[in-house]
């Protein structure tokens, strides 16, 4: 018996090492993709910051309304990745192509409506987002251009989600890295005017962002013609694949809950942004850089979440529940190590990071305060996002929706309101609200994951 156990342990260790290598091979392109997208956004903000803190604040005002506009597409992306990963495990390739076709048609119709509404009502939306006399006009112009180019962003998102679900995370990395490079290059040309191009300021930054998404959309579409792609346009044309009601129901069942979850989160994020905007233009500008820092943490978490969705989804599709749990645990451990490294960097380099954007001493002091909060938050953020990915891959989206309602919409909003408006704690109150949200989500997601019931769900 003891000899059998000794023989089994090395075998189990070897299997676990192989699974860890596979998780890293799937995760690193997704992490690199998210990192470079976030980095491009930071560079974008750095270039805009040359015009003053008002410009940083104006661009920051558009973030939450933009993400609210993209909410349905985020939900569809999650559904597409989870469903295609499951179909790959079930070896149902034609159905995977049906899912992608259905998702593209649904997303195109939704995009047409959402783009028109957000462009037409941009002034009213920016007022609701907290714009003032210093930031309103610039925010409206930036927002209209960004939302006018939503189609290219949506197209890239859906195709990349399908490729991620099949385990091809490198395509998404390549398209988004290229998009980021194009964005930064045209920022250089169009914000201050170089090489004979006009100096369009914030308008130039918005146009540069859209041009980046145009390039990435072209690359994403081209990937569907490659022989090694799991979902392919030649297969769709040859087999006359069409959108189906069954696929629409499957997508909507997951996307509906995920979209509601995203909306619930964005309501909480918007409430935080509104309260931060009330503190003043400089405070709001510093707050937005703090959110950029959290975005950097999210980029690594998102990469590990992509791996968790693809690997656990495929394992569940093949009926390997134990393997699905193991992949979730592996992704979690890798994510925790990354979060510790980021926390240490924030501890020692917070002021330096803010000095890349601002020279004013009082804003740098605000940045140090915010960095102290983000170094704690990132430890919770990365873990809870990976747990959420595992639950979504299994189809446990109703639970993640309830968690978002409790944590972001209620806890974060109430804590921030009370600390800022009642106790006048300023930025401390805003970031304690963010911390309360991340802590509650981490607790709820970890508990659900460890219970293990999510592996028994069918989608």
Q: How many CB atoms lie within 10 A of CB 116?
A: 12
Determine the pLDDT at residue 6: 45
pLDDT tens column, 320-357: 888 889 988 898 889 899 999 999 999 988 899 888 88
Determine the pLDDT at residue 7: 47
Please calculate the CA angle 114-263-31 and round it to the nearest 5 degrees.
95
Buried-exposed string 298-323: b where 16+ CB fall within 10 A, e elsewhere: bbbbbbbbbbbbbbbbbbbbeebbeb
pLDDT digits (tens, 9 = 90+) for 263-306: 777 778 878 888 888 888 788 888 888 888 888 888 788 878 87
Report CA 447 to chain centroid distance, whole Å: 23
Instruction: Give the pLDDT confidence score for residue 3 in this predicted structure.
Output: 47
**Of 46-50, 151-155, 267-271, minimum mean pLDDT range:** 46-50
User: What CA dihedral angle connects 296, 328, 269 and 347, to 10 degrees?
Assistant: -40
Q: Please, are residues 420 and 275 in contact by the beta-carbon 8 Å criterion?
A: yes
pLDDT at 438 (0 to 100): 92
- Give the pLDDT mean for 158-165: 86
- Maximum mean pLDDT: which of 140-144, 354-358, 389-393: 140-144
What confidence score (pLDDT) does residue 459 get?
Answer: 64
Q: Is the pLDDT of residue 50 over 60?
A: yes
Whats the size of the chain, residue-wise? 459
The residue-averaged pLDDT of 210-223 equals 91
- Which pLDDT value is given to residue 305? 84
For residues 42 and 38, what is the distance between their CA atoms, to the nearest angstrom? 6
> What number is the average pLDDT over the span 179-204?
87
pTM of whole model > 0.85? no
For residue 11, pLDDT beyond 80 = no
């Amino acid at each position: 018996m003891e000899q059998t156990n000794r023989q089994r342990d090395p075998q189990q260790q070897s299997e676990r090492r192989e699974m860890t290598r596979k998780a890293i091979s799937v995760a690193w392109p997704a992490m690199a993709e998210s990192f470079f997208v976030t980095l491009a956004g930071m560079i974008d903000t750095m270039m805009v910051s040359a015009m003053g803190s008002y410009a940083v604040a104006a661009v920051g005002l558009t973030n939450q309304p933009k993400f609210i506009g993209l909410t349905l597409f985020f939900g569809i992306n999650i559904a597409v990745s989870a469903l295609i990963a499951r179909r790959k495990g079930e070896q149902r390739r034609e159905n995977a192509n049906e899912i992608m076709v259905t998702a593209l048609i649904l997303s195109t119709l939704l995009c047409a409506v959402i783009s028109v509404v957000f462009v037409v009502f941009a002034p009213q939306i920016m007022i609701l987002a907290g714009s003032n006399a210093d930031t309103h006009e610039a925010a409206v112009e930036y927002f209209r251009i960004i939302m006018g180019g939503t189609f290219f962003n949506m197209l890239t998102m859906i195709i990349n989600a399908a490729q991620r679900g099949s385990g091809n995370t490198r395509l998404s990395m390549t398209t988004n890295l290229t998009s980021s490079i194009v964005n930064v290059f045209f920022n250089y040309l169009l914000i201050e005017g170089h090489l004979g191009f006009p100096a369009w300021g914030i308008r130039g930054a918005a146009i540069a962002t859209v041009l980046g998404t145009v390039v990435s959309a072209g690359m994403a579409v081209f990937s569907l013609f490659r022989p090694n792609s799991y979902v392919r346009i030649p297969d769709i044309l040859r087999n006359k694949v069409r959108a189906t009601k069954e696929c629409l129901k499957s997508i909507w069942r997951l996307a509906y809950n995920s979209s509601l979850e995203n909306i619930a989160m964005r309501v909480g994020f918007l409430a935080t942004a509104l309260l931060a905007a009330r503190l003043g233009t400089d405070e709001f500008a510093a707050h937005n850089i703090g959110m950029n820092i959290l975005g950097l943490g999210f980029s690594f978490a998102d990469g590990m979440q992509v791996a968790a969705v693809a690997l656990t989804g495929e394992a569940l599709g093949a009926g390997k529940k134990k393997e699905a749990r193991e992949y979730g645990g592996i992704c979690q451990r890798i994510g925790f190590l990354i979060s510790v490294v980021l926390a240490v960097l924030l501890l020692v380099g917070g002021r330096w990071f803010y000095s890349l954007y601002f020279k004013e001493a009082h804003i740098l002091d605000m940045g140090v305060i915010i960095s102290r909060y983000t170094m704690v938050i990132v430890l919770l953020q990365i873990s809870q996002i990976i747990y959420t990915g595992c639950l979504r891959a299994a189809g446990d989206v109703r639970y993640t929706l309830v968690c978002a309602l409790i944590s972001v919409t209620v806890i974060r909003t109430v804590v921030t309101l009370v600390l800022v408006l009642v106790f006048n704690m300023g930025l401390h109150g805003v970031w304690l609200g963010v911390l309360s949200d991340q802590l509650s989500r981490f607790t709820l997601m970890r508990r659900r994951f460890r219970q293990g019931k999510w592996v028994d769900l069918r989608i």
